[in-house]
Chain A
Amino acid sequence: MEAALAFVVGMLFAVAIYLLLSEHIIRMLLGLVLLGNGVNLLIFAAGRASAVAPPIIPVDADVPSAVTANPLPQALILTAIVISFSFFAFLLVLAYRVYQDLGTDDTDRMRLAEPEDDDLPPLGY
């Protein structure tokens, strides 16, 4: 299973990188979502995916009766999913505001903070 996951993770990263290299901010956002999924699956697979029983202890036992899936990456990913969603929402709103403000979705034309024809700073004392 890990080999198949490695392939899927590689694909997710490749597509995410390709989308992030776009100049259109919406495509970059789509890429970010894919990148988030790729990273989550990467962590998951790094914790091994051989056992498929949920990491839940039966009512009448102190430890799981059989080998369960690794709970640690699950705990890490669970919070990561929620955080990446809230960041995605933030970036989406930011992109939306930038579009309203600058009238473009092309990152090459967003030169407000770093203008293209920036002059030398004053050379006096």
Chain B
Amino acid sequence: MMGSDTRFLLILALPFLAAALAPILFRRLPAIAAAGLALFPAAAFAILLSALAPVAGGTAILAGFNWIPELGIHFSVRLDGLSLVFALLITGIGTLIVLYAGAYLGQHRDRGRFFAFILLFMGAMLGLVLADDLATLFVFWEMTSVTSFLLIGFDHEREAARRAAIQALAITGGGGLALLAGFLTIREVAGLGSMTQILASGEALRMTAAYPAILILVLCGAFTKSAQMPFHVWLPNAMEAPTPVSAYLHSATMVKAGVYLLLRLNPALGGTALWETILPAFGSVTLVGGALLALRASDLKMVLAYTTVASLGLLVMLIGAGSQEAVAAAVLYLIAHSLFKGGLFMVAGSIDHGAGTRDIERLGGLRAAMPLTFAAALLCALSMGGVTPLVGFLAKETIYHALVEGDAASALLLIAAVAGNALMFAAAFLVALAPFVGDRPGAIAHPHEGPPALWLAPLVLGGLGLAAGLFAPAFHAAFSVPMASSAAGRPVAIDIGIAPHINLPFALSLATIAIGIVLYLTASRLRRALVRGLEAIGWGPDRGFDQMMRGLLRGAFGITRILQNGRLDIYITVTFTVIALAVWLPMTLTGTLPAVPVMPHLRFYEWMVLALILIGIFAVVRAKNRLTAIVSLGIQGFAVALLFMLLGAPDLSFTQFMVETLSVVVLALVMTRLRLSPSDHRPWREMLPDVALAVAGGAGIGLFLLRLTQRPFDNALSDFFTAYSRTIAHGRNIVNVIIVDFRGVDTMGEIAVVMTTGLAILALIGIRVIRRDGAPAAVSPAAPAAGEARP
């Protein structure tokens, strides 16, 4: 069933509108600006809520218009279970983030810019998940890369922030290009231009020969965006951004874009051996690796960043596991993760705000000073740890349930899931518990709760996680079932509740928590061991990125040095070598060398003129002084003019005469001042290759011309001009009629060129010459007269 409603096209405009207003609002009404801006995503959220009932009933709402009709590209959106839940998370968490950022940034100088960026990002992300047309999707996909670049590099005066921003752009933008190639391939081989068409195509994509190429290209896009190892490095480095950005980008939005794409394309691309190998392999490695790296970090935000990497790995692994239940598990975990990770990032920001540091080793005993933040943190951490009755518990039970039922391969995945979850359990409580319990270090002088938004926003997210768990049946009906059904491509039933059943998954849950507690208690020893281990390895993808960028610069520099070596003689040699090859190769390869010409029967004076040209040009080469060179040049020029006259071209002849006269005058004027010798100083070993190239080029052009004139001539154009010169254009001099009438536009361009060179020459002469050694050179006083010559 499909419906259509343009309201959902308009909500896309709301964040962009807010972004445009942000800088003005912060200048005019700074007190209520953040709250005012939060109204825009809130309105979008409210409109989206109204779609819940029809979408839960299985309807996909479509809207759009023709964008580039010539290419069959539309601007269209598709609202179904999957995109609706994503859109709700983006606008809902987005509203809280805007409020939180208003409090977090306080009186920051560039608040307006920050809010413009983050709202732009919100619009891009919303467009990404709503887009139906592949071109629309790609545009929004790259827009998220660009806006996240701006957000990560917000603090652009620090090199670390610039580096993180460039890294994120290079990795996610590069993946975006691969994705574009994938989309174009889909369009080319299967003729599918939108998600709706792709979802309706059934087996079409899996059956094409290009399927492996399509899959790998799309996965490159998804894995870079969703930070799968080894592309994960940009995500922890992006912690250079202000905390609200981290809370937004790394919980529900940016990093989930890749996961969204995988869920979206699962019905069309999934289910194959390739899919079920690559995704679990990357996912499980990312899960365990990310979780281990999380325990190494001591900065709260870094811990959270690496657990985000691990969570993304878990999601990718689940999508690749293939079963319907695994998809259901991925959907539940995705929603749970968006809520608890967004909340925990906000908590980390609030701790930083209240206590002045984010270093786990220097935090402690904040529970009395920041009770509300503590409550929010606990709610989120319990959800992350998978403790009933929070939504995280539902997710983890479903994960274990889905993996337990599989074969030997999924047993490996099960082990990875338990290990990853246990590590993440420890990490969650390192962030949410450790800073609040124990003794308060003396360095933290005045810990305090921040403004209400700083604790309210994470508390809301934690509370939502609790509510989703408590009212599990309603939650499933409204959100997880429609979403999972869209992602699986057929109806999926989810009935997991918060009441534990005694079975294998529950046992695994208990084991996870037990291992997690042990890891939490030994965290600082574990951290030191991990740090030592990584130092021993001494290399990682992050350093690899630096090496790659440096290599790129060095490589580019080297190539430029070769291609653009600054030596004019080499440029000219290359140019004429190419020209010589271009005339010689086709003639010799296709055997179309000209026939040997018969000796032409020319009159005596025609021989004389030709000889005069040859004498002139050889005299130019051999000339030992300026005067000889100029005179010789004039001789060959006048001889060419004579030749034109003999060959029935009086106009050319006159023009050539005048130009040769002026050339000699101008040359004489300049050369007398240059005091240069025009003679050659080339030694023999340099001269020989030059002579060879000159002979090859000259002979090639000569033979080319000979060949050309031996072929039949198509006279159509000249006949046209001759026939109509008088009858239409009222002119008897056909050459002149062509110049001023038939081909007048050409002539107009040409006189414009003549005038431009005149201007350029006057400008060149007018420039005051400064010698490179610093002393002004002698310039005649009349030189700057160009502009003041009017009497």
Report A-B touching, CB under 8 Å: yes
- Considering only residues 24-56 of chain A, those with a C-beta below 8 Å from chain B are 24, 26-27, 30, 33-34, 37-38, 40-42, 44-49, 51-56
Check if B633 sits within 8 Å of A110, measured CB to CB.
no
- Kindly provide the distance from the CB of B571 to the nearest chain A CB, expressed in whole angstroms: 10
Secondary structure call for the A interface: helix
- In the assembled complex, B588 has its CB within 8 A of some CB on chain A: no
Who on chain A is nearest to B153 by CB?
Answer: A125
Check if A20 sits within 8 Å of B702, measured CB to CB.
no
A1-43 CB contact bits vs B (8 Å, 1 = yes)? 1111111111111110111111110110010011001101110
Check if A69 sits within 8 Å of B666, measured CB to CB.
no
- In the assembled complex, B684 has its CB within 8 A of some CB on chain A: no
Q: Could you tell me the distance between the alpha carbons of A20 and B598 in the complex, rounded to whole angstroms? A: 32
Check if A8 sits within 8 Å of B697, measured CB to CB.
no
Who on chain B is nearest to A70 by CB?
Answer: B718
Q: Could you tell me the distance between the alpha carbons of A103 and B773 in the complex, rounded to whole angstroms? A: 10
Given known contacts A17-B698, A97-B767, A59 and B732 CB-to-CB distance under 8 angstroms: yes
- In the assembled complex, B649 has its CB within 8 A of some CB on chain A: yes
Q: Could you tell me the distance between the alpha carbons of A38 and B702 in the complex, rounded to whole angstroms? A: 10
User: Which of A10, A74, A96, A107 touches B699 (beta carbons < 8 Å)?
Assistant: A10
Report chain A residues within 8 Å CB of B770. Answer: 101
Report chain B residues within 8 Å CB of A118. Answer: 561
Who on chain B is nearest to A80 by CB?
Answer: B750
- In the assembled complex, B502 has its CB within 8 A of some CB on chain A: no
Report chain A residues within 8 Å CB of B618. Answer: 15
Check if A116 sits within 8 Å of B566, measured CB to CB.
yes
Check if B705 sits within 8 Å of A5, measured CB to CB.
yes
Q: Could you tell me the distance between the alpha carbons of A47 and B606 in the complex, rounded to whole angstroms? A: 19
- Kindly provide the distance from the CB of A84 to the nearest chain B CB, expressed in whole angstroms: 8
Check if B709 sits within 8 Å of A123, measured CB to CB.
no
B686-710 CB contact bits vs A (8 Å, 1 = yes)? 0000110111011101110110110
- In the assembled complex, B534 has its CB within 8 A of some CB on chain A: no
Report chain A residues within 8 Å CB of B6. Answer: none
- Kindly provide the distance from the CB of A61 to the nearest chain B CB, expressed in whole angstroms: 8
Q: Could you tell me the distance between the alpha carbons of A100 and B675 in the complex, rounded to whole angstroms? A: 11
Report chain B residues within 8 Å CB of A83. Answer: 750, 753-754
Check if A74 sits within 8 Å of B750, measured CB to CB.
no
B727-764 CB contact bits vs A (8 Å, 1 = yes)? 10000111100110001001100100110011011001
Report chain A residues within 8 Å CB of B772. Answer: 101-103, 112
Listed by A's residue number, 22 A-B pairs whose Cβ atoms lie within 8 Å are A2-B705, A3-B706, A6-B703, A8-B610, A9-B702, A11-B617, A12-B613, A18-B621, A19-B621, A26-B676, A30-B620, A37-B637, A37-B640, A42-B701, A44-B647, A45-B705, A74-B649, A81-B659, A90-B761, A95-B670, A114-B564, A125-B163
Contacts A21-B576, A74-B735, A121-B557 known; 14 new A-B pairs at CB < 8 A: A8-B610, A18-B621, A24-B680, A37-B640, A45-B705, A59-B732, A87-B757, A89-B761, A90-B757, A90-B761, A99-B676, A114-B564, A114-B566, A124-B159
Closest 7 CB pairs of A and B: A10-B702, A14-B698, A114-B566, A69-B648, A3-B597, A18-B694, A75-B738
